[in-house]
């Protein structure tokens, strides 16, 4: 399937498991640059490594994890504004 999203930035919250993780994997396979956002740093790192092994290089696409915890306001705003400006796809899952 070609969704024509290669090089587009995708923000996926709750991306370390379940629907969010599946969405991040699919978007990455399609060549999107994926920003993984979730609370659990260990699971987030595992998801990044899994995506990198499933879809290596993805035509130069990147996968980057970001810690995001709605209970910690400091994590919500660090870098989010800058990242959001370049976002083309938003996938918000409960986190």
What is d(CA 49, CA 36) in angstroms, rounded to the nearest whole number?
12
Helical spans, DSSP H, in 1-95: 18-29, 41-54, 73-77, 80-85
Q: What is the pLDDT of residue 18?
A: 92
Q: How far is CA 61 from the centre of its chain?
A: 12
pLDDT tens-digit series, residues 62-85: 788 877 777 877 766 556 666 666
What pLDDT is attached to residue 4? Answer: 82
Residue 84 has a pLDDT of 64
> 60 — phi, psi (to 5°)?
85, 0
pLDDT digits (tens, 9 = 90+) for 8-33: 888 888 888 999 999 999 888 888 88
pLDDT at position 2: 76
Amino acid 72: pLDDT: 78
Closest Cα partner for 48 from 30, 66, 70?
66
């Amino acid at each position: 399937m070609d969704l024509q999203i290669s090089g587009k930035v995708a923000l996926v919250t709750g991306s370390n498991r379940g629907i969010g993780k599946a969405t991040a994997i699919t978007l990455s396979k399609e060549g999107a640059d994926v920003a993984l956002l979730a609370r659990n740093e260990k699971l987030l790192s595992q998801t990044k490594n899994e995506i990198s092994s499933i879809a290596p290089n993805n035509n130069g696409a990147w996968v980057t994890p970001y810690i995001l915890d709605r209970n910690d306001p400091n994590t919500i705003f660090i870098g989010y504004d800058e990242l959001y400006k370049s976002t083309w796809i938003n996938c918000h899952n409960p986190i």
